[in-house]
Structure 1
Amino acid sequence: MSTPKESKKRKSNALDEACLELSEEIENGDVHKEEEKEQEDVETQFSNWKTNSGLLYDFVCRKELEWPSLSIDFGDFHNENIEDNVLNQLVCVGTHTSNKEPNYLYVCDVLFPLEQLAQEKCIYKINENYEGFDFCCEKKKFTIKSKIAHTGEVNRIKFLPLERKNIVVTKAIDGNLHLFDINKHKIETNDDKMNPEVSFVGNNSDGFGLDFNAYKKFALTCSNDGMITVYDYNNLSSKTVNPFYKVQYKSPINDVSSLNDPNLILACADNGYILVYDIRVKTTEPAQQVLGQQVPVNCIALNRFTGHFASGSENGKIKIWDIKRFNEPQHIINAHKEAVIRLNFSPNDSSLLASASNNRFINIYDLNKIGEELDAIDLSDGPSELIFSHGGHTQPITDFNWNHHKKLKMFIGSTGEDNTLQFWQLKTELLDEVNTIPTSNTDVE
């Protein structure tokens, strides 16, 4: 028989447990309400974006995919119909499936308008097989030309630069690279077994970094185990290619880029460091290094016109660097409230930089506007360099790329966790307000 003291203790414990359960229920309920409120806000913002798209864009195309894609790149131009002012271009995206569903590299034929659409055409609506602006008599603006089997999700996609048309390289989850000649992969002959023309092997870990040295025809990649590997793709007679340069770093490498000096490699690491390696030197130590942030540096991008590069970090900051004065950044942009996950300079304009973030937005900056004074109203809209923010995704961005066609300035393709592939071009009238200067005079100081 229990004593009154023991009985009182049990009642106290039961009361504590009941209070704890009630507290957890309230907390869970608050979290659920907060999540519902966030979802409602996203849906409202997306609805407003669709309504206002005709005022912000010359062109919008939103295509829902079966699976989210982690990467996108623009390829060759098949045909320019001058009479209709329409461009037919290849675009590649990949899949990121679940439940052991097979993954694929999708080769798509997409139609884009080459001239500014009349304002009455800039209406967001549901079309034959996409949402957005309609622009020509051809109903299907988006066609999957080929579906190429891929082992694991496609982490990164890049077309080989310059003279090698219709050759695309993917970064796989095992860290290795695979090269496909998409002319040889027709949709009717595909099976579920990956069969690349060439595999670049020697990696053991997942990763996303992939770039090319177009001058020497080198492929660069990096992985989460801190490995950087470089391959020569001048001779592709073998089915497998081993790296001729390999270096191990002490922290995961998040991104890699070639530099205008073809002997140098730029990389950024999870420990916040930005590294420069000289492939002529047989040493594991970087030729130069600087602490870019006290948080992970997620991505880097080179401005091919000026030689400057940008770094994007976990804290939402972008830094602009001069490789010749590597000890400190030339400029800092407070870009996003969440992590910067991707950076790309425009291939057609030396002053334009775009960034993607986990906060669902892609920002475009004009680096010629560095140092401009803002009034209190403009300051609340973002930094002086910010000229546009794309809000067409309802989930975090996974990748984006600029279109390299010279007539399609400010034309970007983007992918997100919302399973959408989007193509969008900033309104010409808004672009005219951006005062750019000739490439030879561009400087970030």
Structure 2
Amino acid sequence: MESKKRKSNALDEACLELSEEVENGGDIVTKEVDVEEEDIMTQFNNWKTNSGLLYDFVSRKELDWPSLSIDFGEYYEDNTDVTVLTQTVCVGTHTSNKEPNFLYVCDVLFPLEELPQEKCVYKINDYYEGFDFTTDKKKFTIKAKIAHEGEVNRIKFLPLDDGKKKNFVFTKAVNGNLHLFDINKHSIETNDDKMKPEVTFVGNNFDGFGLDFNLEKKNVLTCSNDGSIHVYSYDDLSSKVVNALYSVKYKSPINDVSSTNDPNLILACADNGYILIYDMRIKTMEPTMQVLGQQVPVNSLALNKYTGHFASGSDNGKIKIWDIKNFKEPQHIINAHKDAEAIIRLNFSPNEPSILASASNKRFIYIYDLNKIGEELDAIDLSDGPSELIFSHGGHTQSITDFNWNYHKKLKMFIGSTGEDNTLQFWQLKTELLDEANTVPTSNTDVE
């Protein structure tokens, strides 16, 4: 018993020494975190001060919980006031395990005309922080909270053939299921406490984020972390439960999925670094074509509907531009995000064929003009980023979770974004800045 007791004492002493080392090390880590947070807040305050010189419009709304996704829906132009536009925007919640999750349906008022410079001042308004614009209308309203089982990984409005959006919203749930909601059937007064989708698309039983539409075939595409890809038809919604009409399973988690300009082909990207093409006419589990996109996970894909080219974004912060007809090598590589930040989202502008935006797992969203590929930069410009970079948005104080372009043709270069800082942000680049050659306007630029 003596020896056991001595061993126990020795172990206790060793644990005490280790605990003291951890505590001392913890002090260092805490100090580093404090310095980093202070630096972030300094940059954020600079961003607010400089926002009037960088944006035509900015609004920042704090939500109760962070949203993992955002999408723009139907818009309503007011015949009595042609200077504003009301648009439906959907976001989700990512709550703690004990709190219920919801799909939020919001009505947001946006200015259609350029604000005078004296209005481009960041301040606290009645419904949000940002630029104020003259109108008696309420500028932000949550008109429905739709109960949702688990957090809402991805949100997409169903687009129509004319480019507009219908009030049908697809959500990708954390359990793998895909749900379709008619948001017109819900209101803030209904006080939903149980999820009641119009349709549930089943068969996908793992977490995932990829969600896209094949408009020609009226299909919706999803992917999951178990390596599966499922394709469903939304042409007939008479049944409450819909099974997949096409499914395959890959050997690595699938991080994103995209349609192409060929309605028979599906693009996907995987955790093992491969980019895959599946032909739905061929009944096999193996991809029709595949290429190693990176030695690290490829997280996001974006199709340019105008050219048929697509972009891929990876864990090492690189963006690659591909021609699907010549799939062996990328057409171009952009060293997009500094310090090899993982790219989590890519989106081409719906109205500007050469404009691409990316978000990393940090605080910034970058915008690129692919027409600038090949432009030479001097040493000073190189320090700002690649030649294609035309703007960086730094309005978030924590990691970006999602962003999307507004598809309204009068709201060019207009983006909505969400972050782990619980904020929902809408911002529109100052158009004259984009015409300045070799200029990269950023939210950290010292222009005070």
SS at match of 1:160: strand
SS at match of 2:104: strand
1:234-260 Cα offsets, whole Å, 9 max, x none, are: 111111110000101110000000000
Structure 2 residue 123 is matched with structure 1 residue 122: no
SS at match of 1:91: strand
In the alignment, the residues of structure 2 paired with residue 374 and residue 412 of structure 1 have an alpha-carbon distance, to the nearest angstrom, of 27
In the alignment, the residues of structure 1 paired with residue 272 and residue 8 of structure 2 have an alpha-carbon distance, to the nearest angstrom, of 51
* Partner residue in 2 for 1:131: 129
Query: Cα distance, 1:358 vs. partner?
Result: 1.1
Say whether the 8 Å CA contact 1:366–1:434 is kept in structure 2: no
* Partner residue in 2 for 1:206: 207
Residues 251, 84 of structure 1: alpha-carbon distance in 2 compared, 3 angstrom cutoff: same
In the alignment, the residues of structure 2 paired with residue 184 and residue 12 of structure 1 have an alpha-carbon distance, to the nearest angstrom, of 67
Residues 183, 434 of structure 1: alpha-carbon distance in 2 compared, 3 angstrom cutoff: farther
Aligned residues: 429
TM-score (norm 2): 0.92
* Partner residue in 2 for 1:85: 83
Q: Which amino acid in structure 2 is aligned with residue 284 of structure 1?
A: M
Q: How does 1:38-437 map to 2 (within 5 A)?
A: 38-81=36-79, 83-138=81-136, 140-163=138-161, 165-336=166-337, 337=339, 338-433=341-436
SS at match of 1:39: helix
In the alignment, the residues of structure 2 paired with residue 10 and residue 272 of structure 1 have an alpha-carbon distance, to the nearest angstrom, of 49
1:323-349 Cα offsets, whole Å, 9 max, x none, are: 011011111111113100000000000
Q: Which amino acid in structure 1 is aligned with residue 287 of structure 2?
A: P
Residues 407, 10 of structure 1: alpha-carbon distance in 2 compared, 3 angstrom cutoff: closer
Percentage of matched positions with identical amino acids: 76
Query: Cα distance, 1:19 vs. partner?
Result: 6.0
Residues 302, 21 of structure 1: alpha-carbon distance in 2 compared, 3 angstrom cutoff: same
Say whether the 8 Å CA contact 1:81–1:87 is kept in structure 2: no
Q: Which amino acid in structure 1 is aligned with residue 219 of structure 2?
A: F
Query: Cα distance, 1:209 vs. partner?
Result: 0.3
Query: Cα distance, 1:21 vs. partner?
Result: 4.8
Between 12-21 and 131-140, the greater mean CA deviation after superposition: 12-21
* Partner residue in 2 for 1:438: none
Say whether the 8 Å CA contact 1:63–1:130 is kept in structure 2: yes
Residues 434, 202 of structure 1: alpha-carbon distance in 2 compared, 3 angstrom cutoff: farther
Task: Return structure 1 stretches of 4+ with deviation > 4 angstroms.
Answer: 9-22
In the alignment, the residues of structure 2 paired with residue 187 and residue 17 of structure 1 have an alpha-carbon distance, to the nearest angstrom, of 55
Q: Which amino acid in structure 2 is aligned with residue 173 of structure 1?
A: V
Say whether the 8 Å CA contact 1:128–1:139 is kept in structure 2: no
Residues 282, 99 of structure 1: alpha-carbon distance in 2 compared, 3 angstrom cutoff: closer
1:104-129 Cα offsets, whole Å, 9 max, x none, are: 11110000011110000000000001
Query: Cα distance, 1:432 vs. partner?
Result: 3.1
Q: Which amino acid in structure 2 is aligned with residue 159 of structure 1?
A: F
In the alignment, the residues of structure 2 paired with residue 270 and residue 302 of structure 1 have an alpha-carbon distance, to the nearest angstrom, of 19
SS at match of 2:412: coil
Query: Cα distance, 1:222 vs. partner?
Result: 0.3
Query: Cα distance, 1:162 vs. partner?
Result: 1.2
Q: Which residues of structure 2 form unaligned runs of 5+?
A: 439-448
In the alignment, the residues of structure 1 paired with residue 205 and residue 239 of structure 2 have an alpha-carbon distance, to the nearest angstrom, of 21
* Partner residue in 2 for 1:441: none
Query: Cα distance, 1:22 vs. partner?
Result: 4.6
Query: Cα distance, 1:145 vs. partner?
Result: 1.1
1:406-427 Cα offsets, whole Å, 9 max, x none, are: 1111100000000000000001
Query: Cα distance, 1:139 vs. partner?
Result: 5.4
